[in-house]
A and B are shown apart, each in its own frame.
Chain A
Amino acid sequence: MRVLAAAVVPAALALAALALTSCNLDSGAGYVEIKAIPPSASVPLYLDQAKLEPLRNGNAVLRQKVGTVKLMTDVDGHMSLLCNVEVKKNRITSVTVSIMTRQPRCQCGRPNPAETGLNRTCIG
């Protein structure tokens, strides 16, 4: 029994250490390009709850961690999801926010063909 424990415990510790190391590994970053139409339009935009600075000349490029982020806006004090944006390592995902009406709309540079409906995901 003691022999078994002596063999299992170090292995378990090694596995735990490996798991912790894996959690800390940086999976990299990609980029999100946001364009506003018209460029002069001003609308509060959020990427995963983080408010963005007003877009200069209707354009912004932001470095983001790899993963899927939510592009949102604030309509009458309520957060409204415009679209999901998939961020891939060293790739750029383009999103155009159309502010022609009171409710801004999201147009993906490259939409996910597998998805339909309002909650679309833009891919890079």
Chain B
Amino acid sequence: MTGFASTAAARPLAVLAALSLLLLIAATPRPVLAQGERGTAPQSAAPDAATADDEFTRQLNELKKTFSDLSKKFDDSAKNIDRLNNAEAARKEIEELRAQVGELLGAVADNGIVWGLGAKALARAEQKLKSLEAETRYKPEDRQFLIERWRELKNATEGAIRELEGARKEFADLLRKLQTSEDFIDELLQIREHQRALDVIHQLTDGIRDASDKLKKLLGTIKTPGA
């Protein structure tokens, strides 16, 4: 059982170590946040600026906070799995991790909330650029200033969306690895169950053999009447 558990735990541990690294990288502040802060200037220039950009930035910030919270959880899980001495507990730990990774993947999935906000923010930046290019009310230099700010925002939003795409791919890969590890543990558990069943059959066989020997001895003691 010890070797069993160590084999079972080795794989998820490797996955978790890789994951912790990945999440630490993901949790590092990136230009997306900086761009979000810069986004206040054009907002003051255009007071009716949609909340889509703000909401997108807020959701991204929350997501990154979740990354760092989760990073700790993964570290703890890695330590726990290392200490686990049975496959069932390791499987349970992986199942919990799958739930956590699944939640993150859900946010960045194509039909997820963060992804939807990103697409909305990009569409808004594109629409603003288009309308400003046709705008005639402002002085050319003012109009140019607004266009440049929106162009910066559009580039930053595209960059954030690329990051989300990267995160989505990594989470999908990670989820696949976790479920493969869990399936592997399941296979090990099935082997163990089969071994147990085999042991029971062996015990039964021994019992039958023993009974058979006793029966033979008993038969040997029986003498035909009159013999």
Contact = CB atoms under 8 A, between A and B. Distances in A.
A90 to B, nearest CB: 4
Interface stretch (A9-17, A54-62, A70-78): A54-62
Interface string B175-187: 1100100000000
A88 to B, nearest CB: 9
B19 to A, nearest CB: 15
A89 B169 CA distance: 19
Interface residues of A, number: 19
A55 to B, nearest CB: 9
A101 to B, nearest CB: 26
Interface in A88-108: 89-92, 94
Nearest to B100: A90
B108 to A, nearest CB: 8
Interface string B106-117: 101111100000
B98 A61 contact: no
Nearest to A50: B111
B172 interface: yes
Nearest to B103: A90
Contacts, number: 49
B99 interface: yes
A31 interface: yes
Nearest to B107: A63
Given A56-B165, A90-B98, A91-B98, A31 B179 contact: no
The bracket for how many chain B residues form the interface is 10 to 19
Contacts of B98: 90-91
Given A53-B110, A62-B111, A91-B98, A124 B179 contact: yes
Contacts of B112: 63
A63 B106 contact: yes
B102 interface: yes
Contacts of B111: 62-63
A121 B106 CA distance: 23
A35 to B, nearest CB: 10
A33 interface: yes
Contact of A29 (B95, B106, B169, B172): B106
B4 to A, nearest CB: 24
A111 interface: no
B99 A92 contact: no
Given A56-B165, A62-B111, A63-B112, A92 B175 contact: yes
Identify the interface centre among B98, B110, B175: most chain A CB within 10 Å of its CB: B110
26 contacts: A29-B106, A31-B105, A31-B106, A31-B109, A52-B110, A53-B110, A56-B110, A60-B110, A61-B110, A61-B168, A61-B172, A62-B110, A62-B111, A63-B105, A63-B106, A63-B109, A89-B102, A90-B98, A90-B99, A90-B102, A90-B175, A91-B102, A91-B175, A92-B172, A92-B176, A94-B176
